[in-house]
Chain A
């Protein structure tokens, strides 16, 4: 105990003679924090309220990097641009979940009929909305998350369809996180994107076919949802490969440009051998669609399947989601590809690393429950005592009891 007091006194004396950051103007603190690596920033959200709000409000600029989040049956991995695979804590421990969308570093997570916003980097999550029809089985869902900077609000967009007309057939709902309401909006197409759509220029993109035609073999078009106008519109399409229009297999964002993958050759057998990846270099300009790659020899691909470009990794390879079972790295130099094996692979989605924590959705509680990671654990001697206690206040250590609580919390809600 004596050492503790001594130490305290020693620190007290030292503290007085030292650089006092709060006396500095806020812009200097921002300058300093902007020079720190992401890992430190995650940790430093716990330093003080001021620092937390600076970091989480986005005042501190970080260089955004795209990571791919790969969901397995019971695991979650992230792949970064250096092709480093890391295990990520799942948003929930026991319950099955789905990833419904990704925007500005936040993911939209569905657990039963509840939707959560989750930042995989800071581990903050918050429940934003519920939608009861999601509890019924048999709905197939196309979804997305987008941000409206005008009203500073996130919106979830879901297209649901059910084989039985009684359940509403095919319809699209938009959930506003601020007013906590769902609105049904007009969607005069057949949707066929299988999973969440990419966001460019704040617009959420899906592909869809004409309502009058057959669902799967009809040419498809890119439609986008503009969160400000709450409307779906068509995006100008490149010159189609054949007369009627293209079969689009997937959409993605590469280097800030919207990309699409389309069938390159026609196959009467219904198998797709060659696909073409196009990028819209200037958003909204029809002439700016440019062919990036022509990829052949993709395995067992039908026109029902998806080919989604995810992101480029260090050695120039392109990560792609191919069909239901494959995550592949395509090498444009020699037109080869290799399988990326992640055990029990189910799905993959791109997210941007960010520390963003939008205010107004009760994040604060979650933060205080101590989700911050990058913990220092190895400590020795009498120092351990001090740190341990302090650690709890900081929530630097997340003991199992706490975590259990968090999980059951999600389950009950």
Chain B
């Protein structure tokens, strides 16, 4: 136990080596970290592999806000959530992975809700290209072949 550290503080180390000091109450919002703390298998530096400093900072920000504002109005928290998750798609992907891997339920909920909002009104075609990585060229080609097949079938 490092003496310089206040009680109930934990150090989280990201995959690229940066360290974050967070209160234990905040850290244990992640079920995975909670389990480690409860099993006492962790010293007070907890490595968080697969999550880089940038993303880890975001996750911690989110958890802190949720911890502080427990008493606050739910609507405020909702606004914060929707603003928080409104990021570029790449960050969103990393955040989802991190939240899933670290098991932070509130964050995962907010993120999934955000993705759902994103794809809600979209067309099938749009989703294929935007989220499933289909290429337009592929679609056109297979479309052509499919049409031939269909013409035969429907004769």
Q: Which residues of A contact B (CB under 8 A)?
A: 7-8, 11-12, 14-15, 17-25, 27-28, 31-33, 35-37, 40, 43-44, 46-48, 376, 386-387, 389-390, 392-394, 396, 401-402, 405
Tell me the minimal C-beta distance from A88 to chain B in angstroms. 22
Q: Is A392 a contact of B147 with CB atoms below 8 Å?
A: yes
A-B contact count (CB 8 A): 107
CA distance A389 to B125 in the complex (A): 11
* Residue count of chain B within 8 Å CB distance of chain A: 38
Q: Is A394 a contact of B125 with CB atoms below 8 Å?
A: yes
B65 contacts chain A at the CB level, 8 A cutoff: no
Tell me the minimal C-beta distance from B127 to chain A in angstroms. 5
Q: Is A36 a contact of B139 with CB atoms below 8 Å?
A: no
Contacts of A393 in B (CB 8 A): 139, 142-143, 146-147
Q: Is A15 a contact of B130 with CB atoms below 8 Å?
A: yes
The 0/1 profile, CB within 8 Å of A marked 1, for residues 132-148 of chain B is 11111101101100110
Q: A19-B90, A19-B131, A22-B132 are in contact. Are A36 and B146 (CB under 8 A)?
A: no
B1 contacts chain A at the CB level, 8 A cutoff: no
Q: Which residues of B contact A (CB under 8 A)?
A: 89-90, 92-93, 96-97, 100, 108-109, 112-113, 115-116, 119-121, 123-125, 127-137, 139-140, 142-143, 146-147, 150, 154
Q: Is B154 a contact of A32 with CB atoms below 8 Å?
A: no
Q: A12-B136, A28-B96, A390-B143 are in contact. Are A37 and B120 (CB under 8 A)?
A: yes
Q: Is B116 a contact of A36 with CB atoms below 8 Å?
A: yes
With a 10 A CB-CB cut-off, give which of B93, B121, B136, B150 has the most chain A CB atoms: B136
Return the contact of A24 from the options B97, B140, B154 (Cβ within 8 A): B97
Contacts of B128 in A (CB 8 A): 47-48
Q: A401-B154, A405-B154 are in contact. Are A40 and B136 (CB under 8 A)?
A: no
CA distance A122 to B8 in the complex (A): 54
Tell me the minimal C-beta distance from B15 to chain A in angstroms. 18
Contacts of B135 in A (CB 8 A): 8, 11-12, 15
